[in-house]
Amino acid sequence: MVKICCIGAGYVGGPTMAVIAYKCPNIEVVVVDISVPRISAWNSDRLPIYEPGLDDVVKHCRGKNLFFSTDVEKHVFEADIVFVSVNTPTKTSGLGAGKAADLTYWESAARMIADVSKSDKIVVEKSTVPVKTAEAIEKILTHNSKGINYQILSNPEFLAEGTAIQDLFNPDRVLIGGRETPEGYKSVKALKDVYSHWVSEDRILTTNLWSAELSKLAANAFLAQRISSVNAMSALCEATGADVSQVAYAVGTDSRIGPKFLNASVGFGGSCFQKDILNLVYICECNGLPEVAEYWKQVIKINDYQKSRFVNRMVSSMFNTIANKKVSILGFAFKKDTGDTRETPAIDVCQGLLGDKAQLSIYDPQVMEDQIQRDLSMNKFDWDHPLHLQPMSPTTKKKVHCVWDTYEATKDAHAVCILTEWDEFKKLDFQRIYDNMQKPAYVFDGRNVVDANKLREIGFIVYSIGKPLDAWLNDIPVVA
């Protein structure tokens, strides 16, 4: 029986390994992590992450050929293939701070593999890493090899949260990069054999190591760029009376462009896009390509602009003061069908509103109060450093209330602000919400989920991203 061990039981390690175990009953898969609470949760009835379909997959194989353990060294020692799926956050200090990837967690995992191994191993980069990381890892492993043969592969993960199980069951492609040597080809074939259990041959792409590493950063940059492109258009739509959904549809029906990832929004969030683009920018700068670096930086600048534009629109619409006004925030996760709040645009929007002294009442069906309070007290980039717990700011705590019911969140509020496209927000009783709000009652829809015309009939003043403006909002200049 082939034995797989995956270091890192997070959003990627957990679901990917659960699906490998599900699809390959002849393979034993152990997911290990240094975090005791995370592993306990994976072994419990309440998994540490919310992901549609994940519970069933885990329940089906846990205890049979899928195991979760904190005994990292034992399982690495026993494995034939070791996946490394640890976090690769943005550096918060030192050289490249605010841009470069922090490979501390990666390097410590690699050193541990070198320490405990007594047999040949294939080491698979699952984490998203800067191009050429495999070379550094190879050096760490071979300099401590004690005669053991290591083959390093790059097998970046393309799943999106909220649809992870679907993406893993039916991936657009699986990408495997390896050394172009006989041993390299052999190890690529070994990993290919794992995926071949359920992915057709034509969807398993093999490349050299550097192409695989760079393709992951490139794919995320391209996806984020589409969102920034449509968001840039949304500002122009608001200024001209065009409707961004109609523009996106018209543009996306061109088969060369395609319809996906053209939804205008309050801005993209999530643990990957910003981090990976910053990383790409840093790599370009290090390779003497400042023009290319500048080009990709714009994607993030437009995303930041979109978030601050949204906050400014809210404040200026409400007579330029929201001090002590109750604002109801619906949705805090970075997208629907996940409880993940990493880099969610809700953090910037809420911090912007708190900066103008609003009182926030926040509802999200999957995010706990503790998480929200911590997110709103944290410094930029700190979220991806798991051992780093920021003290919570008492002022933030007093100004932010989290509730478990939309109608309570919106009661007596001056404004409702939708920041995540949860399906349940489309079905709300907006007449009831309106009746219990202060007047004028505003809805600021950062995800274009509500029917603005229906809400206007009820009496709301509605702002939808990139849509023709209410007469009320039309005359108010917004400073970005």
15 belongs to the binding site for ligand UDX (CB under 6 A): no
- Of 188 and 272, CB closest to ligand UDX: 272
Please pick, from the candidates 87, 220, 225, 234, the single residue that binds ligand UDX as defined by CB under 6 A: 220
User: Does 307 sit near ligand NAD (CB under 6 A)?
Assistant: no
Judge whether 286 counts as a catalytic residue.
no
**Contact mark string toward ligand NAD, 35..64, x via CB under 6 A:** x--x--------------------------
Distance of alpha carbon 259 from alpha carbon 257, whole angstroms: 7
CB of 377 to ligand UDX, least distance (A): 21
Which span (21-29, 143-151, 194-202, 267-275) binds ligand UDX, by CB under 6 A? 267-275
In this complex, which beta carbon is closest to ligand UDX, that of residue 151 or of residue 231? 231
Told to check if 335 binds ligand UDX by CB under 6 A, we report yes
Asked whether 361 and 328 are in contact (CB, 8 A), the reply is: yes
Identify which of residues 325 and 335 has a Cβ nearer to ligand NAD in the complex. 335
Q: Interface with ligand NAD includes 137 (CB under 6 A)?
A: no
**Locus of tokens 């995010």:** 367
Structure tokens, 327: 């604002």
Answer yes or no: is 339 a known binding residue.
no
> Which residues lie below 8 Å from residue 56, measured CB to CB, with a gap of 6+?
none
| Binding site partner of 446, from ligand NAD, ligand UDX, none, Cβ cut-off 5-8 A by kind | none
One of 24, 72, 281, 450 touching ligand NAD (CB under 6 A): 72
Residues in the chain: 480
Q: Does 269 bind ligand UDX (CB under 6 A)?
A: yes
Q: Number of residues in contact with ligand UDX, rule: CB under 6 A? A: 19
The answer to the question of residue 174 lying near ligand UDX (CB under 6 A) is no
Task: Tell me the closest approach of the beta carbon of residue 215 to ligand UDX, in angstroms.
Answer: 11
By beta-carbon proximity to ligand NAD, the closer residue of 334 and 442 is 334
Query: Judged by CB under 6 A, does residue 109 bind ligand NAD?
Result: yes
Residue 90 or 228 having the CB closest to ligand NAD: 90
> Which residue is nearest to ligand UDX, using beta carbons?
270
- Name the catalytic one among 24, 61, 272, 402: 272
227 binds, among ligand NAD, ligand UDX, none (CB under 5 to 8 A by kind): ligand UDX
Beta bridge partners of 445: 418, 464
**Is 86 annotated to bind ligand?**
yes
Where does this chain bind ligand UDX (CB under 6 A)? 157-161, 220, 223, 227, 261-263, 265, 268-270, 272-273, 334-335
The annotated binding site for NAD(+) is made up of 8-13, 33, 38, 86-90, 127-128, 161, 272-275, 342
Residues annotated as catalytic are 272
